[in-house]
Amino acid sequence: MLIILIALFATAALCPLIFRYFRRNGFYIVAAVPAVGFAWLLTQFPAILSSQLDSANGQPNAPPSIEYTWIDGFLVNLDFRLDTLAAVLLLLILGVGALVLVYCGRYFKNDDMGVGAFAAKLVAFAGAMIGLVTADDVIIMFIFWEITSVLSYLLIGFSQALITARRSAMNALIVTTFGGLAMLAGLLILGTSTGSYRLSDIIAAAPQLSSMGMHIDVAIGLVLIGALSKSALVPFHFWLPGAMAAPTPVSAYLHAAAMVKAGVYLVARLAPGFADTAFWAPLAVGIGIATMIIGGYRALKQYDLKLILAFGTVSQLGFIIAIFGLGNADAAFAALALTLAHGLFKATLFLAVGIIDHNTGTRDIRKLSGLGRKMPLLAIATTIAAASMAGIPPLYGFVAKESVFDALLHLDGELAWVPLVGVVLGAALTMAYSLRFVIGAFGSKAEVAPVECYRPSLIFLAPLLVLTVGTVLLGLLPGFVEPLVKHAATLYPQDPEVHLAVWAGFTPALGLSAVALLVGVAFYILRARTDTGVPLRRKVLSAEEIYRGLVNAVDELAIWVTGRTQRGSLSFYLGVILAVALVVPLSIALTVPTPWPTHWVIADHPAQMIIGAIMIVGALAAIRAAKRFMAVLMVSVTGYGMVAIFALQGAPDLALTQLLVETIVLVAFVLALRALPKRLWVGISKVKPARALLATALAAMTVYVAIGMMAARNESRISLAFPDLAYYEGYGANIVNVTLVDLRVWDTFGEITVLAAAATGVASLIFVATPVARRLRAGEIKSGSIDHGSEAISTGEFSQAGLDIARQFARSNNKDWLIAGHTLVAERRSIIFEVVTRVIFHAILMLSIFTLITGHNTPGGGFAGGLLAGLALTVRYLAGGRVELAESMRVSPNILLGGGLAVAGFSGIFPLLLGDPVFSTYVWEFALPIFGEHKFVTSTFFDIGVYLVVLGLVQDVLRSLGSEIDVLSEGRSPVARHDVVAGYRRGVGR
Amino acid sequence: MSVNITFLAITGVLLAVGYYLVLERTLTRVLLGIVVLGNAVNLLILTAGGRMGQAPLFSPEVAPDEYSDPLPQALILTAIVITFAVTAFLLAMIYRSWSLTNADTVRDDEEDIRVSQASAYDEEEDAPVEEDTTEFVDEEGRPIREGEE
């Protein structure tokens, strides 16, 4: 059976290809797959019918089964089991499936859009249904269950352009997945209570489960909600008439023969074990009967042939579920016979409606007239199917309904008359709407002109005729079906006392049939007399209106909640986040006993207090500063204060790194913010009490919690082992550096990845429209052309003499101190700066490499080295402008970033090639003639990667915040913001 | 362990200043707040590492607990560099915001405000539609008569 399942899904995948070559005739090829499956299924019946249904998988006489372990830890397995119930449903799924696909071959036109995809969904749906009914694992069953919901959604929405199709598809999806969710919860409760998710185990354990208490009742109730929603029972029934927006073959297959039977299947499956649980009878039997009557009544009110059938289907599904729900052998026998009957006649009727719609262009019974004469063959076949639906002898529908009446007459108990009366009433309504359907579709109406239409070809009619023949044959020879349904009923202790027979003598059941038919005719006549041809406004709130109301209420609630919480104000969001961050930890810290330190010191060193005082003053000044750069400077006071603290504390690496970063950050601030006004927060600088209170409280809470945490420490620090680890296993004396490149190397690797990402982010924010330009060469730029025309740096103060010297310097024939210094306009140049840069640049670069190489043993390493090199680059840029930056670093930052990551990554992978763990470190000791004994540690390669990434980051910052902003603002004063903005308005840099 | 009051005081003030600045609407101040918060937290980690000690450069004569704790140092070192990267990124954002809107303040999100005032009416869900009695319709939903197969 797995082969059919896989073959169907594989065919679905191939559908687009098949339909590209064969157009709509591809349907005939595709139909072969379920047809072959059907033939195979027939060969399996002897084995299935000779098996013992209640024996566990693996027993010699168990039904055919397949088992694969899938997720062992969660007890979820790919178990499939082909027992009689599954096989009977497979007959419908495969048989009707093949016929519907054949039908599609003439229903669609060659130039219809998306036929290939349509066929793929239909075939995949057949596969999913097979999985659903054969799965012996509830989780697997649930997965297939949801696949059918999704495919149903896609198929209903086939006509994407129509709002009705889209809306109906969405309604169907929401209702069925709601039910599916309830069902999943129920299945999980059942599975965990049983200790197995195998369906056959759960049913076998039903007696023990039922005695476990209320939660099993609830679980079964939840599963039933899933079944009811899928089979469109009240109050979920409204999605099925809506689903009639789907192409008619889909309605015939999914919404009559196959998918809606999933709920029936589930009820039939669980009834032998759980029919006695608390919610079973009201949900399955009660709602089933109610649905049968409501559906039948609503069908009588419809004018659209398809809607008559849709409400009729709702009615019939309620009927079948109610009978299965009775939970005894007779009922199971009769209900299964009825399921087959329904599949046969309802598919026929839908296919007939499809042909009528296809050939006349309407399904409205008020417009159709005289069709019986135009399409006699169709009319005969349809009438037979409708008669079977109404339960008229000698058709199979009659035989099945007789067995139901029989089963109901055998029912014991005080309330046994309720289902009997309900079913007879429902059967009468069925008779009435069957008449309405047949006469509405094919009858001649005096006041309506006969419709014009083509006759359908035989090949278009063929599938429908096959089904009709089935209905007649099974009616006359019910012996084909009897062994099947009888075997399926062996799951119950008693033997069924009912039989399938077209003539069993004058029995009470026959009398009930006659009553139902006569009452049905009366209903029809009554309805025909009062029918005005205009749908009445109904006074009762329909289920669909309640559903729409619910959806709207959810929308309103969502908008209300969104409006209250998503106010669009960042300060508000942050305020809420910080307030929560204040209240939650504080309330915990205040309610549980907090350890408190016994030993305090004011400071480890007097200098700490002086540094601290300076930092505090700087921080407070940053709040009050009215000018942008003043605030930046005040903040950097705290940064440099950190440098001093680190140095005192015994953290030379930190001091070094912080010092370098602080300097580069200062440059970056100036570069990025130079275009912004000096003073921006005029009037904003007064302190706001609420914010200040929140900020102070948060800070106090953080410090309080920190004190508690420090006091709670009762173990010695974990890093006591680090010195030995670093020296004897990492081969380096600088413990911090070895920690970074060896002991905690994964952290560092993650971090440099973040650096690369941030650098790319900076560049992409600045180079928005302009691609990164070709690298500039100093030789190609006209001397003194860069930044020409901008106003002097500081008019007035800069003396004329100074300007003269600068111009002279620019014009002198001496070899340039910097490669691209000459490209700047004279006013922008600084002789001293250029000379000094020339003198110190290479020295800084050498120092950075030295710092990198020796970082393993002395303060330094990749971070400090990269920052130093970046600083050297910064000096070049500041002295010589953007062309100088391009000249001094001829590789692009992208290469540095990517190359650095590659080098670091390779240093991790390389040991794998030697069979060692990732990021293993090797040491290579060697002696040099003058320099003596040395050793080289391979983690230095990782540090080189870090160095390159950091250098790339600094270069990217200079290129973006420096060069590119230069380009955008050249020729204007950098602080004349209106100029700059006007430039952007014209599209520069946007 | 002994708790260093000076460090806690600095941390407290820096945190308060940082939180306050982050709550501002001016982007530059928000960024400065983040920088200050970074410094404050680095100091807090350092404080949690214990008292001052020898620089963590291995020497066989020094007992392991005489070094200043190297682990928080490694953490802080990466934090410093990451803060640098974040600062650069935010600077680029400030510049971008300035060049697009001519302001370096965070404005209220108009889209959010629009959403909060939206009506629950949804064309797709709520517009009244007529029921079709045929599926053979053209793009506007008008019936087209079919016949040929």
CB contact under 8 A, B68 and A651: yes
**Chain A CB contacts of B138 below 8 Å:** none
Answer whether B68's CB lies under 8 Å from B49's CB.
yes
- Closest-CA residue of A relative to B109 is A568
CB contact under 8 A, A571 and B25: yes
Which of B35, B46, B119 lies closest to A635 in CB terms?
A: B35
ipTM of the complex: 0.84
Chain-centre distance for alpha carbon A926:
58
Query: Residue range A343-348: average pLDDT?
Result: 94
> What is the pLDDT at residue B149?
54
Tokens in use for A533? 């041809």
The residue among A909, A937, A913 whose CA lies nearest residue A923 is A937
Which of B15, B50, B92 lies closest to A717 in CB terms?
A: B50
Residue in A351, A362, A611, A638 to test binding to B, most B beta-carbons within 10 Å: A638
> What is the pLDDT at residue A148?
95
CB contact under 8 A, A664 and B147: no
> What is the pLDDT at residue A981?
44
Work out the number of other CB atoms within 10 angstroms of the CB of residue A379: 18
**pLDDT for A523-552, tens place per residue?**
999 998 888 777 766 666 788 888 888 988
| Residue A80, strand partner residues | A66, A135
Which of A248, A622, A713 lies closest to B36 in CB terms?
A: A622
**Chain A CB contacts of B22 below 8 Å:** 574
| Residue A936, strand partner residues | A924
DSSP string for chain B: --EEHHHHHHHHHHHHHHHHHHTSSBHHHHHHHHHHHHHHHHHHHHHHT-S--B-SB--TTS-GGGBPPHHHHHHHHHHHHHHHHHHHHHHHHHHHHHHHHS--BPPP-HHHHHHHT--S--HHHHS--PPPS-S-B-TTS-B------
Give yes or no for residue A949 having a pLDDT over 90. yes
- Closest-CA residue of A relative to B71 is A719
- Pick left, alpha or beta for residue A789 (phi over 0 → left; psi -120 to 50 → alpha; otherwise beta): left
In this prediction, residue A74 has a pLDDT band, given cuts at 50, 70 and 90, of confident
In this prediction, residue A909 has a pLDDT band, given cuts at 50, 70 and 90, of very high
CB contact under 8 A, B88 and A566: no
Q: How far apart are CA A898 and CA A893, in angstroms?
A: 8
- Closest-CA residue of A relative to B20 is A695
Work out the number of other CB atoms within 10 angstroms of the CB of residue A384: 22
Residue in B135, B137, B145 to test binding to A, most A beta-carbons within 10 Å: B135
CB contact under 8 A, A681 and B51: no
- Closest-CA residue of A relative to B28 is A628
> What is the pLDDT at residue A311?
94
Query: Measured between CA atoms, how close is A928 to chain B, in angstroms?
Result: 24
Give yes or no for residue A681 having a pLDDT over 60. no
Mean of all residue pLDDT scores within chain A: 88
Mean of all residue pLDDT scores within chain B: 84
> What is the pLDDT at residue A978?
41
**A717 φ/ψ angles, rounded to the nearest 5 degrees:** -70, 150
Residue in B134, B144, B145 to test binding to A, most A beta-carbons within 10 Å: B134
CB contact under 8 A, A574 and B86: no
Name, of A142-151, A486-495, B51-60, the range with top average pLDDT: A142-151
Greater pLDDT, A572 or A424? A424
**pLDDT for B116-149, tens place per residue?**
777 777 777 777 777 777 777 665 555 565 545 5
Count of A-B CB contacts under 8 Å: 413
Q: B5-55+67-112 in CATH: which number?
A: 1.10.287.3510
Answer whether A743's CB lies under 8 Å from B92's CB.
no
Query: Residue range A837-852: average pLDDT?
Result: 94
CB contact under 8 A, B65 and A717: yes
- Closest-CA residue of B relative to A652 is B55
**A923 φ/ψ angles, rounded to the nearest 5 degrees:** -125, 145
The residue among A129, A136, A172, A169 whose CA lies nearest residue A258 is A129
Give yes or no for residue A699 having a pLDDT over 90. yes
**Cα–Cα–Cα angle for A684, A689, A690, rounded to 5 degrees:** 105
Query: Measured between CA atoms, how close is A809 to chain B, in angstroms?
Result: 34
CB contact under 8 A, B99 and A980: yes
Q: How far apart are CA A422 and CA B134, in angstroms?
A: 34
**Chain A CB contacts of B110 below 8 Å:** 568
CB contact under 8 A, B5 and A600: yes
Work out the number of other CB atoms within 10 angstroms of the CB of residue A783: 16
Query: Measured between CA atoms, how close is B123 to chain A, in angstroms?
Result: 9
> What is the pLDDT at residue A990?
29
> What is the pLDDT at residue A977?
43
Q: How far apart are CA A873 and CA A837, in angstroms?
A: 10
**Chain A CB contacts of B35 below 8 Å:** 635, 639, 665
Which of A167, A635, A758 lies closest to B86 in CB terms?
A: A758
Q: CA A1 → CA A5, A65, A407, distances in Å?
A: 6, 9, 33
Query: Residue range A112-130: average pLDDT?
Result: 91
> What is the pLDDT at residue A798?
56
Q: Helices A606-624 and B27-48 sit at what angle, rounded to 10 degrees?
A: 160
Q: Which residue has the tokens 């596969």?
A: A127
**pLDDT for B84-120, tens place per residue?**
999 999 999 998 888 888 777 777 778 888 877 777 7
Which of A651, A710, A957 lies closest to B1 in CB terms?
A: A710
**Chain A CB contacts of B95 below 8 Å:** 672-673, 675, 765-766, 961, 965
Find out whether the peptide bond into A394 is cis, omega within 30 degrees of 0.
Answer: yes
The mean-pLDDT minimum among A32-41, A193-202, A669-678, A724-733 falls in: A669-678
**Chain B CB contacts of A250 below 8 Å:** none
> What pTM did the predictor assign?
0.70
Answer whether A111's CB lies under 8 Å from A138's CB.
no
Q: How far apart are CA A232 and CA B9, in angstroms?
A: 69
> What is the pLDDT at residue A532?
79
CB contact under 8 A, B58 and A167: no
> What is the pLDDT at residue A984?
44
**pLDDT for A326-337, tens place per residue?**
999 999 999 999
**pLDDT for A291-326, tens place per residue?**
999 999 999 999 999 999 999 999 999 999 999 999
User: Can you give A630-687 as a three-state secondary structure string?
Assistant: HHHHHHHHHHHHHHHHHHHHCCHHHHHHHHHHHHHHHHHHHHHHCCCCCECCCCCCCC
- Closest-CA residue of A relative to B13 is A616
> What is the pLDDT at residue B42?
96
> What is the pLDDT at residue B86?
94
> What is the pLDDT at residue B117?
78
Query: Measured between CA atoms, how close is A664 to chain B, in angstroms?
Result: 9
Query: Residue range A70-85: average pLDDT?
Result: 87
**Cα–Cα–Cα angle for A516, A531, B146, rounded to 5 degrees:** 100
> What is the pLDDT at residue A971?
60
Q: How far apart are CA A243 and CA A312, in angstroms?
A: 14
CB contact under 8 A, A657 and B77: yes
Q: What percent of chain A has pLDDT over 90?
A: 52
| Residue A925, strand partner residues | A935
Non-local (6+) Cβ contacts of B15 within 8 A are: A695, A698, A699, A702, A703, B37, B40, B41
Tokens in use for B4? 């260093």
User: Can you give A94-110 as a three-state secondary structure string?
Assistant: HHHHHHHHHHHHHHCCC
Query: Residue range B8-23: average pLDDT?
Result: 94
> What is the pLDDT at residue A904?
95
How far apart, in Å, do the first and last CA atoms of chain A sit?
62
Query: Residue range B55-73: average pLDDT?
Result: 89
**Chain B CB contacts of A622 below 8 Å:** 17, 21, 32, 36
Greater pLDDT, A447 or A39? A39
CB contact under 8 A, B4 and A453: no
CB contact under 8 A, A649 and B59: no
**Chain A CB contacts of B118 below 8 Å:** 559
- Closest-CA residue of B relative to A855 is B57
Element (H, E) at A704: helix A689-712
Query: Measured between CA atoms, how close is A485 to chain B, in angstroms?
Result: 38
Give yes or no for residue A793 having a pLDDT over 60. no
> What is the pLDDT at residue A987?
39
Query: Residue range B44-73: average pLDDT?
Result: 88
